């Protein structure tokens, strides 16, 4: 994407020479001949950087700078100083300009300065995003009695080395709890390694978990370190443990008993010190009855069971969660904050949420992006959540008819707000859910039908949090 540079300078000759320099370097140039005009441009289409002349008739550069800062603190401004304004340039830096350029302008200086500033800006932005993600992503929101009981158990389990088994429906927050345990354990400084036992093809899971030596099987062109080894001195999170094959179960049991692993194709054993957290949304005892899950492995893993209750058993948490996800979405996507009116909130609290918090989160995100105005009303909700349509038998994560329609056909039911990117994502998601449904959630089949590699489809499912409903 081209960076857009706004040049505010009253001298046409300067604007013109900057335009040539910038366009030659593939920047998009926007010119303004006065402070007023420049401010209008900034409000209309936000540039990535402003080059601002200090000495201009009417509103001078310092005043424009102050106004720009008030408009948008994060917009980088580089001052252009002429003869006799160098000391002003220094003042400008104190007032928030990021750098300055002296006249006469050298094209090299201009380019180097722009590159530096934009790079710096990018890093800052990344930092902000990371911090935001770190803080809000791992926050466990809610204080219903049911959730408080979970947090109590977490507090007791975290400081120990004991194996924890997290039980609960899809989307209730098992992974979040697993990470919280790790972050509050003495191993917090070490790695948290996650293995999704359901997503890894049967024939690869052993080499994923235990690693392999180069040449140990066809396709093993490089040595691979397994997840258990990677997690040494840290925590391994065995997610969807109910989906492991009997053979893998036997090997995992051995690692847990012996605290050592063997890479495929190697006779050497390697000591590992890992804390295990396992999770499943399946009924493992039933699996044992049916002979699909090893009882001895179950007992090994089930040292501290923590049940994370479904959202419909802790509806008191819903308003807080809605606000949390609304805030997060608006921060992440640079959207205006929106409020949910009382009736909308009531409907959200009443709904069944088969997909639990993940479904709630996706619903809130979608509403934030697709609803126009600064208030989400009950009319904006998908019919089944509103309660005036027959309950869907579809997947919980599927966009509602209204928003999916808006995403694909641009219907007027919900005005797509936000950026092109958000619109594209929403459409892509709706498309994938549709195709998955048509193919009975058979991933390989769907990947084939839509002509994309299976790995890519898995990535998309992860990215959009698409999940098949268990009883759907």
Ligand X SMILES: Nc1ncnc2c1ncn2[C@@H]1O[C@H](COP(=O)(O)OP(=O)(O)OP(=O)(O)O)[C@@H](O)[C@H]1O
Q: Which residues pair with 340 in a beta bridge?
A: 376
DSSP annotation of 315 reads G
Q: Tokens 């997690």 map to which residue?
A: 231
The CB density around residue 290, as the number of other CB atoms within 10 Å, is 9
Tokens 């109590």 sit on residue? 152
294 binds, among ligand X, Mg ion, none (CB under 5 to 8 A by kind): none
Q: Which residues contact 451 (CB under 8 A, 6 or more apart)?
A: none
Work out how close the CB of 139 gets to ligand X at its nearest, in angstroms, rounded to a whole number. Answer: 6
Q: Which option in Mg ion, ligand X, none does residue 357 bind, with CB closer than 5 to 8 A by kind?
A: ligand X
Q: Which residue, 175 or 397, is less far from Mg ion as judged by CB?
A: 175
| Contact string (CB under 6 A) for ligand X, positions 283-322, x = contact | --------------------------------------x-
Selection from Mg ion, ligand X, none that 76 binds (CB < 5 to 8 A by kind) is none
Tally of CA atoms within 13 A in the half-sphere of 394 that contains its CB? 19
Q: Which is nearer to ligand X, 85 or 363 (CB)?
A: 363
Is residue 358 at the binding interface for ligand X, with CB under 6 A as the rule? yes
Binding partner of 429, given Mg ion, ligand X, none, CB within 5-8 angstroms per partner class? none
When the beta carbons of 35 and 173 are compared against ligand X, the nearer one is 173
Site for ligand X in 176-215 (CB under 6 A): 176
Q: Give, as ranges, the residues between 382 and 441 that touch ligand X (CB under 6 A).
A: none
Q: Pick from ligand X, Mg ion, none: which does 163 bind, CB < 5 to 8 A by kind?
A: none
CB of 422 to ligand X, least distance (A): 18
Closer CB to ligand X, residue 61 or residue 142?
142
140 contact, one of Mg ion, ligand X, none, CB 5-8 Å limit per kind: ligand X
Considering only the stretches 32-40, 137-145, 384-392, 408-416, report the one whose residues sit in contact with ligand X under the rule CB under 6 A. Answer: 137-145
Among the residue ranges 32-40, 98-106, 172-180, 438-446, the one whose residues contact ligand X (CB under 6 A): 172-180
* Cβ-contact 77, 52 below 8 angstroms: yes
Q: What is the 3-state secondary structure (H, E, C) of the chain?
A: CCCEEEEECCCHHHHHHHHHHHHHCCCEEEEECCHHHHHHHHHHCCCCEEEEECCCCCCCHHHHHHHHHHHCCCCCEEEEECCCCHHHHHHHHHCCCCEEEECCCCHHHHHHHHHHHHHHHHHHHHHHHHHHHHHHHCCCCCCCHHHHHHHHHHHHHCCCCCCEEEECCCCCCHHHHHHHHHHCCCCCCCCEEEEECCCCCHHHHHHHHHEECCCCCCCCCCCEECHHHHCCCCEEEEECHHHCCHHHHHHHHHHHHHCEEECECCCCEEECCCEEEEEECCCHHHHHHCCCCCHHHHHHHCCEEEECCCHHHCHHHHHHHHHHHHHHHHHHHCCCCCEECHHHHHHHHHCCCCCHHHHHHHHHHHHHHHCCCCEECHHHCCHHHHCCCCCCCCCCCCCCHHHHHHHHHCCCCCCCCCCHHHHHHHHHHHHHHHHHHHCCCCHHHHHHHCCCCHHHHHHHHHHHCCCCCCCC
Of 171-179, 380-388, 432-440, 453-461: span binding ligand X (CB under 6 A): 171-179
Among 31, 47, 76, 142, binds ligand X (CB under 6 A): 142
- Site residue total, ligand X (CB under 6 A): 18
Q: How far is the CB of 343 from ligand X (least distance, A)?
A: 24
Of 281, 363, 371, 446, the one binding ligand X (CB under 6 A) is 281
Specify the residue, 3 or 179, whose C-beta has the smaller distance to ligand X.
179
Closest approach of ligand X to the CB of residue 361, in Å: 5
For ligand X, which residue of 174, 182, 263, 294 counts as binding (CB under 6 A)? Answer: 174
Nearer to ligand X, 56 or 146 (CB): 146
Question: Based on CB atoms, which residue is closest to Mg ion, 89 or 166?
Answer: 166
Report the candidate in 21, 19, 20 with the shortest Cα–Cα distance to residue 33: 19
Residue pair 209/259 in contact (Cβ under 8 Å)? The answer is no
Interface residues with Mg ion (CB under 5 A)?
175
The item of ligand X, Mg ion, none sharing an interface with residue 382, based on CB under 5 to 8 Å by kind, is none
Sketch the per residue contact string, 1 through 40, with ligand X: x for CB under 6 A, - otherwise: ----------------------------------------
Q: How far is the CB of 171 from Mg ion (least distance, A)?
A: 8
Choose, by CB under 6 A, the member of 140, 264, 401, 443 that binds ligand X. 140
Q: Is 170 in the site for ligand X (CB under 6 A)?
A: yes
| Closest approach of Mg ion to the CB of residue 421, in Å | 26
**Among the candidate windows 1-9, 87-95, 134-142, 406-414, which touches ligand X by CB under 6 A?**
134-142
**DSSP alpha helices (H): ranges in 334-442?**
342-350, 356-370, 383-386, 401-409, 420-438
Contact residues toward ligand X (CB under 6 A) are 140-142, 168, 170-176, 281, 321, 324, 357-358, 361, 467
């Amino acid at each position: 994407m081209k960076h857009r540079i706004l040049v505010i300078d009253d001298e046409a000759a300067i604007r013109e020479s900057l335009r040539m320099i910038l366009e030659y370097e593939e920047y998009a140039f926007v010119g303004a001949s006065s402070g007023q005009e420049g401010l209008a441009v900034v409000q209309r289409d936000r540039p990535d950087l402003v080059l601002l002349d200090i000495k201009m008739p009417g509103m001078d550069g310092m005043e424009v700078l102050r106004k720009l800062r008030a408009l948008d603190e994060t917009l980088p401004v580089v001052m252009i100083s002429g003869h006799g304004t160098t000391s002003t340039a220094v003042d400008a830096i104190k007032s928030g300009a990021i750098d300055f350029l002296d006249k006469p302008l050298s094209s090299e200086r201009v380019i180097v300065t722009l590159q530096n500033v934009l790079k710096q800006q990018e890093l800052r932005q990344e930092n902000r995003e990371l911090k935001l993600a770190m803080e809000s992503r791992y926050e466990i929101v809610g204080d219903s009695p049911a959730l408080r009981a979970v947090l109590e158990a977490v507090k007791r389990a975290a400081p120990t080395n004991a194996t924890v088994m997290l039980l609960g429906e899809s989307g209730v927050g098992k992974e979040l709890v697993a990470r919280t345990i790790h972050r509050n354990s003495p191993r917090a400084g070490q790695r948290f390694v996650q293995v999704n036992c359901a997503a890894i093809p049967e024939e690869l899971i052993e080499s994923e978990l235990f690693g392999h030596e180069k040449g140990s099987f066809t396709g093993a062109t490089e040595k691979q370190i397994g997840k258990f080894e990677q997690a040494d001195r840290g925590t391994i999170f065995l997610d969807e443990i109910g989906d492991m094959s009997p053979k893998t179960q036997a090997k995992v049991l051995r690692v847990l008993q012996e605290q050592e692993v063997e890479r495929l194709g190697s006779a050497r054993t390697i000591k590992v010190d890992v804390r295990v957290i396992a999770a499943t949304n399946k009924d493992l005892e039933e699996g044992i009855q049916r002979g699909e899950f090893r009882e001895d492995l179950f007992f090994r893993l089930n040292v501290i069971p923590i049940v994370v209750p479904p959202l419909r058993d802790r509806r008191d948490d819903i308003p807080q969660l809605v606000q949390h996800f609304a805030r997060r979405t608006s921060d992440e996507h640079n959207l205006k904050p929106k409020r949910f009116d009382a009736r909308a909130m009531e409907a959200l609290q009443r709904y069944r949420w088969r997909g639990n918090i993940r479904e709630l989160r996706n619903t809130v995100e979608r509403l934030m992006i697709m609803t126009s105005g600064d208030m989400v009303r009950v009319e904006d909700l998908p019919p089944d959540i509103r309660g005036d349509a027959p309950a869907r038998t579809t997947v919980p994560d599927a966009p509602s008819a209204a928003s999916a329609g808006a995403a694909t056909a641009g219907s007027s039911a919900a005005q797509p707000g936000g950026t092109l990117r958000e619109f594209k994502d929403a459409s892509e998601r709706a498309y994938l859910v549709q195709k998955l449904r048509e193919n009975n959630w058979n991933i390989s089949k769907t990947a084939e039908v839509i002509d994309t590699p299976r790995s890519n489809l898995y990535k998309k499912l992860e990215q959009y949090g698409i999940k098949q409903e268990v009883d759907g």
